[in-house]
Structure 1
Amino acid sequence: SSLPVISVDRSVTGEDVTSHIASDNVAGGAQAADELAKAVGEKGKVIILQGTPGAASTRDRGDGFKKEIKKYSGIEVVAEQTANFDRAEALDVTTNLMQSNPDVVGIYAENDEMALGAIQSLGSKAGADVKIFGFDGTEDGLKAVSNGTMVGTIAQQPKELGKKAVEAAVKAIKGESVEKTESIEVKTVTKENVADFQ
């Protein structure tokens, strides 16, 4: 009999795993869209800073956001470009995109690192003229949310991911059936509740 294999957070390509436990990135993207829409008064131009091309998290976080943002007829996505989940690259990409779209009012970054790069690029405009939304709930991301340069971020629940992975492994070892994929809820973090995550 083959060993049960449980993948957590990142999917394994080309291998059949017993169970895959991951954050619900699609739902997270949709949650980000709703919050960013609210922050910009449901109108105006927004840009998307994409993660690493081809990565599942990039695809899911992008798909969830784009599908949800379509519900707001006053909002237009004018540009989307990869900054490879990287802070320095996001600074450059944001600077270039803002030059060609100076009237952008919102930025969705598919991780906090890129959101922080966008904040650096925008300077005093960050949080004032341009609302920025991240994803991951990193320490630096949460700081930016509490100081108002970032509208919010989507926090993953690593403890919950770990707990579900262990539960799935135990079931699999006992020969019980396990879910092929299990999605773990992600949390929307804004200034109102950021203290609970820090």
Structure 2
Amino acid sequence: MIKVGLTGGIGSGKSTVANFFKEHGVPVYFADIEAKKLMETSSRIKNKLIEAFGDQTYTNNTLNRAYLAKVIFNNKKKLAIINSIVHPEVDKHFANWVKQQNTPYCIQENAIIFENKKAANFDYIISVTAPLETRINRVISRDGATKEQVLARINNQWNETKKNELADFVIVNEQLSATKNQVKKIHNTLLNFAKKSNFS
């Protein structure tokens, strides 16, 4: 089965694009959602996080997100520790999920594929992009954040141009009808690639 990574900066509309692929019957693994679930359910993750950040990490067996957010605020070293605990478990979980799919290709939606040096895990990568102002406005209306807060989050991620240059496909997600057309085109291309790889 072909594995496709779907990435893009904050506010680019990755989830919208992922759901358009789902409309074509493509299974999508949302890495961020699954990571949050695993942080609640995996005893391996729980034990390692408590070891690294103390008993306050979980309250009544539930992840103390506010505490953890404070711990990693402006602290890249501590964020890297969390990532080193959570990401390998997500990778394992995704590998098991892939085995359960029965389609020509599947997708993992993940904002930081390039930043985490995970590109080699996928056969193809799709980058979702949108004009900066569009992205800022989307996040402001979605999260109730200020423009400054959104820009700070954008600046923490890779530049979109850099992602687009490394991706196999780029979707410009500004007008939904145009986005749907781009998704359909890429979907058909990936189906063809899958067919050829089965014959080779």
- TM-score, scaled relative to structure 2: 0.30
More helix by share: 2
Q: Which has the higher contact order (CA 8 A, sep 6+)?
A: 2
- TM-score, scaled relative to structure 1: 0.30
